[in-house]
Structure 1
Amino acid sequence: MLNTIITRFEEQVEKVSEQNAVVFGQKKLNYRQLDKKSNIVANYLIKNCQVKHGDIVPLLLDRSENMIVAIIAVLKAGAAYTALSKQYPQNRIDFIREQTNAAIIVDDKLLSQALVGTDSSNPDCKHGIQDLAYVVYTSGTTGHPKGVLHSNLSVTSHIDSYWKAIGLSDEHYNMLFLVNYVFSVATTQIFGALLHGDTLVISNSNAVEDIDHLERYINTEKINYFQCTPSLANSIDFSRLTSVKTVAVAGEKIPRSLFTNTHDNQVTLVNVYGQSEFQRA
């Protein structure tokens, strides 16, 4: 069903309010808590920062559950977001801020201030299906970074097409979030979970540096779906994983050994190629 991101998220809040929505380390937010915190931040942005329908709000945040709070909050305020990395040079951040005409950047300090608020009422979100949801910027290696615009329709239709293509069922998924939130594929993983009532498990930023630790983490969190590159997937011993049912890979050629590694351990391997193959306006 094609509808706005927030409409579909709030449907899940009603359906699975006590189900964990986001997990980061020992911190967990169920759907009701995520909705409440996002409302508090959205109302702060509207009342204290004058964020309005049609604005583009840059996010410059540490990796945590509050990344997701901020993303939902910006959308609930009727605006769109663009995610920035703290590893970006200052001139790239300044350029994107100028390009988006952003009056504010939501950083960890501003987000902490906003979360102190008490108004958890649901903002009157003005988003329509064709309204902008997020902007992702190119690397800028051939000049200035270029912003690629994605509407609510683009996101929701992409999520629905992706879900159908990889054959995920109606059962509950603990979905491992490995990527940096600045990349387009992050939206697939974030909203793939939140628009279906699943749990988004956010890894530490250095999770892929120690494969043994990653395998233990996958087992501890009972991860049953994740997406990564073929080379990362091929470095994992699937015989040591106890819960993974499906792994999606993209961005590289798939080695034959990965087919064996997954097939012999009853794990479904899906090649999703790249973000552009699934995305449509």
Structure 2
Amino acid sequence: MTRARCDMGTPAEWWPIRSFAGWVARRPDSVAVADRDGSLTYAELDADSDRLAWFLAGQGIGPEDLIGLWLERSVDFVVAVLAVLKAGAAYVPLDVAHPPARLRAMAERSGLSLLLSHNAGQDVPDWADHVVPLETVLTGRRPGGRIGPPPCAARPDDLAYVIHTSGSTGMPKGVMVTRGVLGNMLRHHCARSLPHLRTTLQYAPTVFDVSIQEILGTLATGGRLVVVPEETRRDVRALLDLVRRERAEQWFMPAGVLEWVLDGLRADERAAASLREIVLAGEQLKITDRLRELAARHGWVLRNQYGPSETHVVTEHILDGHPARWPALPPIGEPFPDVEVRVVGVGG
């Protein structure tokens, strides 16, 4: 597996969790995350993730342990991510729709300490040794138990998550990203966001690294995260209905998705008007006349980000001001602070 490192901060100062805790104190009753089945306030999300983190700590889970998340995109997934990070461990997202053979390969190569699933009624996979249904830990979601998260001894160079890519051979390859790398990226990403963004879509699949940017970037800035149902992700009309209904202001997407939804946004003024910031990555961004027209009409800011899975986002070019001045092919931009980028030719 490939490991990205960045030595920044101390365990008690890890920026994403510290910032989330600050919003718990300031806005305990504000909705933090919602899916089609319900929502949790900042206080409830904090309490649930603390309870699960204490459970993990009681199982001997700590730094460098890998916890599989065999969970659909949901409020539960967000609870699990926070809990694993609070316990000092790292999470490994596993797509419930992937074939068992692929899941087995990823689980075996990762060496999972434990697998979290949704509920006891879910089929127990034969590729995991220790499966814990979330409902056994969070039944009733009643307050109580210990106050605050367990002690966390994780260092910046300890893992935060492992994302699997297809790899050059077609076999899943684990990319290991540390807490230092993730914390540095999130801190600088959030510092450059528009102020007072209230609602962000959780649109990316959980097995893509953009999902953790959506989740922690929103919770670290006091926003509301809305999980997009899986079938809605593939239906333009339903997707824009959701944008309009939830008044989504920030949307992370590949450039191809922006092109896919552009005509729908031109026809749906209320959905287009709710958006303020669109974060793009993964593909070459092309500024077309249609895009210029919509961006000018609604005052959109586009953030063109770049970074391989091995490092997450490392560069960014922000497109603001009048879209008439935006280049047709925006550059990938400049490195984030504390990031060094080297352009290497074919010969090295």
Q: Which TM-score applies when normalising by structure 1?
A: 0.89
1:115 maps to: 138
1:44 maps to: 55
Which amino acid in structure 2 is aligned with residue 240 of structure 1?
R
Q: Which structure has the larger Rg?
A: 2
2:270 maps to: 240
Q: Which TM-score applies when normalising by structure 2?
A: 0.73
Q: Give 1:263 shift.
A: 1.9
Give SS of 2:200's match: strand
CA contact (8 A) 1:21 1:29 kept: yes
**Which stretch of structure 1 is more off in the superposition, 173-182 or 37-46?**
37-46
| Aligned pairs for 1:1-281 within 5 A | 3-4=13-14, 5-47=16-58, 49-109=59-119, 110-116=133-139, 119-122=145-148, 123-140=150-167, 142-165=169-192, 167-169=193-195, 171-234=196-259, 235=261, 236-238=264-266, 239-241=269-271, 242-253=273-284, 254-256=286-288, 257-274=290-307, 275-278=312-315
Give SS of 1:91's match: helix
* Aligned counterparts of 1:172 and 1:143: Cα–Cα separation in 2: 39
CA contact (8 A) 2:253 2:280 kept: yes
CA contact (8 A) 2:185 2:314 kept: no
Identity %: 27
Structure 1 runs, 4 residues or longer, greater than 6 Å off: none
* Aligned counterparts of 1:224 and 1:46: Cα–Cα separation in 2: 37
Which amino acid in structure 1 is aligned with residue 187 of structure 2?
D
Task: In structure 1, list runs of 5 or more residues that go unmatched.
Answer: none
Q: How many residues in Structure 1 have an aligned counterpart in Structure 2?
A: 278
CA contact (8 A) 2:68 2:112 kept: yes
Q: Deviations over 1:134-162 (max 9, x none)?
A: 11111135143222121221111111222
Task: In structure 2, list runs of 5 or more residues that go unmatched.
Answer: 1-7, 120-132, 316-335, 341-348
RMSD: 2.3
Q: Give 1:124 shift.
A: 1.6
